[in-house]
Structure 1
Amino acid sequence: MNFPPSPRTFSATVMAAAVAFALAGCAVGPDYVRPAMDVPAAYKETGPWKQAQPQQIDSSNWWEVYGDATLNGLIQQANQANQNIRVAEAQYRQARAAGDVARAGFWPTAGVSAGVDRSRSNTNGVKIGNSYNAGLQGSWEPDIWGSVRRSVEAGDAGSQASAADLAAARLSIQATLAQDYLQLRITDLLKDLYARTTAAYARSLQLTQNQYAAGVALRSDVALAESQLKTAEAQAIDLQAQRSQLEHAIAILTGKAPSGFNLAALPADTQMLSKMQAGLPPVPAGLPSDLLERRPDIASAERHVAQANANIGVAKSAFFPALTLSASGGFNGASLAQWFDTPSRVWSLGAALAETIFDGGLRRAHSDQAIAAYDAAVAQYKQTVLGGFQEVEDNLATLNVLDQEAIAQKQAVQASQLAERLALSQYRAGTATYLTVVTAQTLALSNERTLVQLLGRQLLASVALIKAVGGGWDASRLNGDQAQNDTQHTNKTTD
């Protein structure tokens, strides 16, 4: 016959649970402190961007500063369909699930069982009979030394790092797409430049042919004019190859096959260059200290440091004993009807304390491994911060230098265009050779092409600077549901 637990047994079990709860307030391992960085007070490179306010960039739509509706639409498509973003989004969901796995360690486990046995015994004669049983079991390992709490800290830091990785992947795709698109438009400008140039060269060829027919020009002038025209036409054809490659890259970034994607060229417009120059935005760089909060790759590296720090606590908790509390209850009888009789009721309560006394140095090795991983994460974090500073400084310097270079190049274009007009007038008047005309025209084309390419370099550098300062992203998002909301939005738009 089964009896309820004695007061002494019950008191011991309650005492063990109380001790477990009391000890559950401590957690072994170091508490996390962000690694200190020697952050400069200001950037070295000067420029009109240094004193701007970082908040001027819209964190969700920074590309709109370029004022191009086509670019806006392409980046929205990339946000929804780019496969690299989907990979990062899936990895973020995986990291969140890993954090939930760690959090499940706070709770007890419970299970049910039921069974039937048929057996033969020789006690007091041969007997064959059935036995029926059903029960409920539960166990709980209190988090006395903080192993579960450190695991949860590591899981949460890992999911936050993955959320920052998702933001970094999205920012990288957006910046790459913006650069490819702007470079394609620069190629359109160059194609328009060559279209106007070849038309001018064709008129010059006609002029030399007329002069030769009149007997006032040499046959070599005609050959020189024809050679110049064909060279320009060949260079114009080469631009189409560059444009096709950029168009294919944009198609892949937006999640489409190149064969099904077409981006129409801008209409020929002599004012196109000035319009794109007007679209070159002033880019706020902020202060160096802002970079620690505004770059998702830096935030990810910092969260990996926090994750590694928590894993040290998980490793150190293995040096302490583990307490397991268990309970079970149920019914066991020769028939189902006997389950409701008192003798068929069974139960048990227990507490077990276990400690490993020898493991061949396994726990020490795990602890050393966790400490080394933390040191590596700290070094990686600091290197990422330094790399971020370099990217900002590089692009600030590039924009500053290109701005000065563009001013000088515009003056060179104006001078070469004047020289071209004067050379043509002198050739018509018979006071200059056609070689002078060719030299002036070649210089004018070279200077105009350089000016357009300078604009392209300015646009690309401005995108690179926006990316380098985080695109307006802020690490405070890691404490909210922004990444999860972005994930749900991506899933909804792709279902």
Structure 2
Amino acid sequence: MSKPLTLALTVALAASGCATLEPPLPQAAPAIPAEWTSTPGTASSTTGDAAADADAVDSAVSDIGWRDFFADPRLQALIGQSLDHNRDLRVAVLNVERARAQYRIQRADRVPSLGAGAELLRTGGDAPVNDAYSVGLGVAGFELDLFGRVHNLGAAALQQYLATEEAQRSAQLALVAEVAAGWLTLAADQELLRIAEATLRSREASLSLAERRHALGGASALDVNQARTLVETARADAARYAGQVARDVNALTLLAGGPVDPALLPDAAVPQVAVAAPLPAGLPSDVLLRRPDIMAAEHGLRAANAHIGAARAAFFPSITLTGSVGTASNELSGLFDSGTRAWSFMPAVNIPIFQGGRLRAALGMATADRDIALAQYEQSIQAGFREVSDALALQTSLDGQIAAGERLLDAATRTLELSQARYDAGLDSHLQLLDAQRGQYAALQGLVAVRLAGQVNQVSLYKALGGGWRERGDI
């Protein structure tokens, strides 16, 4: 390669990326408390242990693997199947691959692109036909990045790739939570179906007894019709829950990306699937910054800020280099003979003078995009804080509801036993027995519903704190 072209390329590479016009990254001000307030569901801690507790929760929640958090092996297997075959997650993974390729394309603009070529030029007319052969290696249109435009575009592409990667993690986190919630919902609906079927059998027996007593004159027609009303109510509930169970299985099939092995489905009871310790009091809110969706928003902000640097650089002159080195001859056989070497070097300078306001408008748009990204980043932090706050508050409320529901069921069951005994002894009317049956049935249904809500809320809290994107925690 000739000395002038070699020197020009060396200077170009040295001068490329000498400056950048990217502004400082603005600081987010989400206006949220520094920590979550203590609730009865959080563990108390002394002032000296607060930092240690916060660090423990930060690593124990956001980094704990979903196989460590969900204790049931059937649910673990179902989550694993979903992560392998779910189509939404597959699209998110492919989006990461696309963003990685886009970043590599943009990064390639920072180095010269070398190309080899061979050319035949034949001219003729009134003059004799003349052939010119040439072979060369050259650089075409390489821009000297004196003001950091290419560098900023590459940095923006990198941040967009990182944002897409975090979005894929967020999609995985959401999928894990959806599968766990769907699995628990199926367990609850199966339990409600079992309760409805058992209640239907019991009420059919009561209706048969009431009809026999009515035939013997020991019960009125009103008693029979009231018993029949309870039977049909239970029959309708059983049919409704059977349909809901089928819908739950269909939902899990969609999430899993294919048929689900019946052995992976839950039993007819809401199991305790989550393994989570109480959160310490005064948990700092900056643990939210490790959530994938918030990290994606931060990368989006950095990408938008880099675009401002590229828009600013467009106001300044740009220099592009084109050059080649090779051989040229009028005869193909003499193309590589001595004395046929040739080289060319063509720098070009573009100075923007009048663009009709295009450059200022582009800078204004880039600035607005940065401000929008900043607002979205702050909003994602606020939304994350609210999700955790809601889950913590609901956890405390649900603990009380579960305890009250268990006591209510005990009382309703005892009431039904006493009412049945008094009715059999002729001390109470049939209406009082029916009320006791309704109360016990409603207490059973309510306890299943509140237990489901408690389990789903634990999953929501795990997701809100950024857990679920790793299979196993750190050892």
> After TM superposition, is the score higher than 0.5?
yes
Give the equivalent residue in structure 1 for 2:107.
Answer: 103
Kept after mapping to 2: 8 A contact 1:283/1:462: no
Of the three residues 347, 350, 368, the one matched with 1:372 is 368
**Does the 8 A contact of 2:70 with 2:76 survive in 1?**
no
The partner residue of 1:24 within 13, 17, 23 is: 17
| DSSP-derived class of the 1:141 partner | strand
The equivalent of 2:47 in structure 1 is: none
Instruction: Name the residue aligned to 1:85.
Output: 89
Residue 219 of structure 2 is matched in structure 1 by 217
- Among residues 345, 350, 354, which one is paired with 1:349 in the alignment? 345
Q: Distance in 1 between matches of 2:347 and 2:266?
A: 78
| Cα distance, 1:240 vs structure 2 | 0.8
Question: For 2:371 and 2:223, how far apart are their aligned partners in 1?
Answer: 73
CA apart distance, 1:264: 7.8
Q: In the alignment, which residue of structure 1 is the partner of 2:196?
A: 194
1:449 is aligned to 2:453:
no
* Matched residue, 1:483: none
In structure 2, distance between residues paired with 1:301 and 1:265: 36
Is the partner of 2:109 in helix, strand or coil? helix
Structure 1 Cα separation of the partners of residues 297 and 43 of structure 2: 26
Task: Report % sequence identity.
Answer: 30
Matches within 5 A, 1:197-276: 197-256=199-258, 272=269, 276=271
CA displacement at 1:299 relative to structure 2: 0.8
CA contact (8 A) 1:330 1:346 kept: yes
Once the two structures are TM-superposed, the CA of residue 400 in structure 1 deviates from its matched residue by 0.9
Deviation (angstroms), 1:284: 5.5
Corresponding letter in the other structure for 1:230? E
Cα deviations by residue, 1:1-51 (Å, 9 ceiling, x for unpaired): xxx88xxxx59x948954872573321121435534444232136143466
SS in 2 for 1:106: coil
In structure 1, the partner of 2:175 is 173
Residue equivalent to 1:133: 134
SS in 1 for 2:365: helix
Structure 1 window deviating more from structure 2 (280-289 vs 193-202): it is 280-289
Counterpart code for 1:245: R
How far 1:380 sits from its partner (Å)? 0.7
**Is 1:116 paired with 2:156?**
no
8 Å contact kept, 1:131–1:332: yes
> In 2 relative to 1, CA 264–196 (structure 1 residues): closer, same or farther, beyond 3 Å?
farther
Distance in 1 between residues matched to 2:209 and 2:426, nearest whole Å = 12
Q: Distance in 2 between matches of 1:158 and 1:241?
A: 44
Q: Which of 292, 301, 325 pairs up with 2:288?
A: 292
Say yes or no: does 1:425 pair with 2:418: no
CA distance in 2, matches of 1:361, 1:152: 25
In structure 2, the CA distance between the partners of 1:59 and 1:407, relative to structure 1 (3 Å rule), is same
| CA separation of 1:186 and 1:176: change in aligned 2, threshold 3 A | same
Q: How far off is 1:466 after superposition?
A: 1.4
What is the Cα deviation at residue 169 of structure 1? 1.0
Q: How many residue pairs are counted as aligned between the two chains?
A: 456
- SS of equivalent residue, structure 1 residue 217: coil
Shift of 1:371: 0.5
String of CA shifts for 1:75-97, please: whole Å, max 9, x gaps: 11110111111111111111111
CA deviation profile, 1:246-301 (whole Å, cap 9, x unmatched): 111111111127xx875787566xxx46xx3x545446657343443221111111
2:144, 2:265 → 1: CA distance? 67
Secondary structure of 1:127's aligned partner = coil
Counterparts of 2:295 and 2:278, CA distance in 1: 20
1:386 aligned residue: 382
CA separation of 1:19 and 1:81: change in aligned 2, threshold 3 A: closer
Paired residue type of 2:28: P
How far residue 418 of structure 1 moved from its aligned partner, in angstroms, is 0.9
Is the alpha carbon distance of 1:23 and 1:184 closer, same or farther for their aligned partners in structure 2, counting shifts above 3 Å?
closer
Go from structure 1 to structure 2 and tell me whether the alpha carbon gap of 1:19 and 1:441 turns closer, same or farther (over 3 Å shift). Answer: closer
Residue aligning to 2:48? none
Counterparts in 2 of 1:303 and 1:79: CA distance versus 1, 3 Å: same
Contact 1:49/1:282 (8 A) holds in 2: no
Answer whether contact 2:172 2:469 (CA < 8 A) is retained: no
Structure 1 equivalent of residue 165 of structure 2: 163
Does the 8 Å CA contact 1:321/1:353 hold for their aligned counterparts?
Answer: yes
State the alpha-carbon separation in 1 of the partners of residues 304 and 265 from structure 2.
51
Match status 1:70 vs 2:74: yes
Structure 1 residue 104: Cα displacement: 0.5
Measure the CA separation in 2 of the matches of 1:439 and 1:91: 58
1:398-409 aligned within 5 A: 398-409=394-405
> Following TM superposition, by how much is the alpha carbon of 1:309 offset from its aligned partner in structure 2, in angstroms?
0.4
Correspondence 1:32-51 to 2 at 5 A: 32=25, 34-44=27-37, 46-49=39-42
Q: Is the 8 A contact 1:184 1:243 kept in 2?
A: yes
Give the aligned CA root-mean-square deviation in angstroms. 2.8
For the residues of structure 1 that align with 2:461 and 2:333, how far apart are their CA atoms?
79
On the 8 A contact 2:274/2:459 being kept in 1, the answer is no
Query: Helix, strand or coil: the match of 2:347?
Result: strand
Paired letter, 1:382: E
> Are 1:410 and 2:410 an aligned pair?
no
Gap runs ≥5 in structure 2? 45-52
Please say if residues 251 and 261 of structure 1, whose CA atoms lie closer than 8 Å, have aligned partners that are also in contact.
Answer: no
C-alpha distance in 2 between matches for 1:83 and 1:345: 58
Report the secondary structure of 2:243's partner residue. Answer: helix
Q: How far 1:338 moved relative to its partner?
A: 2.7
Gaps (5+ residues) in structure 1?
A: 478-495
**1: distance between equivalents of 2:408 and 2:333?**
105
State the TM-score, normalized to the length of structure 1.
0.84
Question: Aligned pair in 2 of structure 1 residues 470, 329: CA closer, same or farther (>3 Å)?
Answer: same
Matched residue type, 2:188: I
Separation (CA, whole Å) in 1 of partners of 2:300 and 2:265: 45
Quote the offset at 1:205 in angstroms.
2.9
Structure 2: which amino acid aligns with 1:449?
A: Q
Within 2, Cα distance between the matches of 1:407 and 1:41? 32
